[in-house]
Every structure is written in structure tokens, then in C-alpha cells.
Amino acid sequence: MNYRKLGRCGLKLSELSFGSWVTFNKQVDTGVAERMFGTCFDAGINFFDNAEGYESGGSEIVMGKALQALGRPRDSYCVSSKVFFGAAKDPAPTQVGLSRKHVTEACHQAMQRLQVEYLDLYFCHRADPDTPIGETVWAMHNLVTQGKVLYWGTSEWTAEEITEAHEFARENHLTAPSMEQPQYNLLDRERFEVEYAPLYEKYGMGTTTWSPLASGALTGKYLNGIPEDSRAALPGYEWLREHMVESERGQGRMQRVANLMPIAEELGVSLSKLAIAWCLLNGKVSTVILGASRLEQLEENLEALEVVPLLTDEIQAKLSLQSA
């Protein structure tokens, strides 16, 4: 495992990390999570991603129990949470968004569920048009000075919103965001590569990128329909099935996945490993957050590290052409 700096910060994260969206508390119970974390630690992974909104806080509870059970030194790994969507099933207006109140209370609640005394990384899961950016920057700055958060960041904010947060922090001598958490994979490149391009140097922005397999689309397993045991078949995720596979957009994306298959075959590797390895080629990526509903998937995905050296300039050009 290689370790990459989180942008300009001193923190070094494993280039592959592990997240729990959809999976923990739904497809993955505490026992399986424990085995998955064991595999992660053995591979050198040191960052685990979570959010208040995943399974209404249930995902953080499972992660907290599994990490406690493993008993690794707390200073040897990082955990995150994200605030915005809320953990309550029927949230009151004060239980969502990026107000000072919710940012502060969500941090305390996430620490309790994860059984930690501080969050290494804490993200604003989306921008909140109802809260002035300055109020959120102040709330994050206060959590940092209280030692409850070490690095704060954004997720899927526009370049303009990230710039506004930085400018406010600079003008008021506050802690600026250190990282963004955007989607980045062979099918979704525009924001990461184009919109954010000016921000990497200007602000030393680190990135913890999500959905390297586009929710599983880049495994190729949806090319012949929806497997019963897959994310797109889960009750409550009909929107994802529509978005990923069934809509006109989804069908276009499936065609792009089909076009990539022969390249994986030529290299003699699975498309999953190839797609994850491709994300690692970009030096602006601090860490690629993996997802897995089964231990075997995690084991396979970790082997992506062996595929990186196979991605010559010629292969990269083919991947860009066929995924476009």
C-alpha cells in the first residue's frame, strides 16, 4: 500500500480506503464488518469513511463496534463522518443542514455512534443554500479548535462554493477546508478533472474520492440485467437502479461499460480491478474509497494495486476513448 498526503496537509492516507454507504447495517453486519476491517488493516488501509446519513446513523454504530472489537491503536487509523442529511428518520428542521447547531450536534452524535473521542475527517456532505457559508466555516473552525475534528472538508460542493469557504476562512483567520469528497471514476470525470482543476494548487486541496466502480456499474455485472443480490436490486434503491441502468442515461453508461470490457480482457484482469487502478493514476486523488457488500469483493478490489503498473499510456488512451 502506498500512502498519499491529503493535499497540502501533513496527514498521510492509504491510497485505497474503505467506506460503508449502503452496505453497513444493511448488507453487512458487525461480524462481517469486523472481518472486512481485519482485511483492510492487513492490506495497510488506514482510513474508514462514514456519514450521519448512512442507514440513519446505523452504519456508524456498526463501524464503531467493529473497530472497537479489533482494538487497533486509535492513532494508527482515521475515521470520518459527514453532516448535512441528518440521522433522524423524520428529521426536525434543526436536525439537517449546515447550521452551527446541526454541524455541532451531528459531530457529537457521530463521535458517540463511532465510539471515538474525535473525528479525523469531517465533511459537509452537500452545500446548504439555507446557511451562510461563513456560519458553517465558523462551526467547523470551532470544532477543530476544540479538538473534536482534525481536518474538515466538503463533499460535492461546486468550485465556487469551495472558493467562497476558503476566502471566508482566510479573511477571518479561520481553519479552511482541507479536502473535498467528490465522485470520480471512469464514467464520471468532469467535475474532478475540469471544474476543480484550479483548486488543487491554489488551496492545496486533498480529495477522498467515492464510487470508484460507479456503484458497481464498472464491475460489468449489470450488462445482462440486474442481479438479485446487487445494490440496484435493494428495496429503497429503486432510484439508483433507474439512474444506473434503466434510464436513457443509464443505458448510455452501460454501453460505455461494455466498450471497456475488451480492454480488461486484453490485460487479463477483471474490469473492477482495472477501474479502481485507473482512479489511482490521478495524482490529485489522495485516496480512493472502496465499497464492498461481501468480503470477497473487498479482497478482489484490493488487488487493483497490482493492476496499476499495467496501465501504460497506450492502455490509458484506450480507456479514455472507450469510456467517453
| Residue 291 interacting with ligand NDP (CB under 6 A) | yes
CB of 172 to ligand NDP, least distance (A): 26
Unique residue bearing C-alpha cell 474508514:
48
Sole binder of ligand NDP in the list 6, 7, 23, 78 (CB under 6 A): 23
Catalytic (active site) residue 196: no
Cβ-contact 211, 236 below 8 angstroms:
no
**What is the spatial distance between Cα 293 and Cα 227, in angstroms, rounded to a whole number?**
14
Q: Which of 42, 49, 52, 50 is nearest to 72 (CA)?
A: 42
- b/e map 126-136, b = 16+ CB within 10 Å: bbbeebebbbb
Per CB under 6 A, contacts with ligand NDP among 218-247 are 219, 221, 230-231
Sole binder of ligand NDP in the list 205, 292, 305, 311 (CB under 6 A): 292
| Residue 284 interacting with ligand NDP (CB under 6 A) | no
- Cβ contacts of 5 within 8 Å, gap of 6 or more: 11, 12, 206, 286
CB of 59 to ligand NDP, least distance (A): 9
| Residue 49 interacting with ligand NDP (CB under 6 A) | yes
| Residue 188 interacting with ligand NDP (CB under 6 A) | no
- The 3-state DSSP class for residue 19 equals strand
| Residue 155 interacting with ligand NDP (CB under 6 A) | yes
**Choices 2-10, 13-21, 139-147, 310-318; region in contact with ligand NDP by CB under 6 A:** 13-21
- Pick the catalytic residue from 3, 54, 196, 203: 54
**What is the spatial distance between Cα 82 and Cα 127, in angstroms, rounded to a whole number?**
12
Beta bridge partners of 288: 16, 209
Q: Which of 240, 255, 260 is nearest to 311 (CA)?
A: 260
| Residue 161 interacting with ligand NDP (CB under 6 A) | no
- DSSP secondary structure string, 119-135? EEEEEESS--TTS-HHH
Question: Amino acid letter at 180?
Answer: E
CA 294 to centroid of chain Cα atoms: 18
| Residue 212 interacting with ligand NDP (CB under 6 A) | yes
| Residue 119 interacting with ligand NDP (CB under 6 A) | no
How many residues of this chain interact with ligand NDP, rule: CB under 6 A? 30
Helix (H) or strand (E) holding 143: helix 133-145
| Residue 207 interacting with ligand NDP (CB under 6 A) | no
**Given the complex with ligand NDP, which of 228 and 314 has the nearer CB atom?**
228
Sole binder of ligand NDP in the list 136, 178, 301, 323 (CB under 6 A): 301
Interface with ligand NDP by CB under 6 A: which residues?
Answer: 19-23, 27, 49, 155-156, 181, 210-216, 219, 221, 230-231, 272, 289-293, 297, 300-301
Active site residues: 54
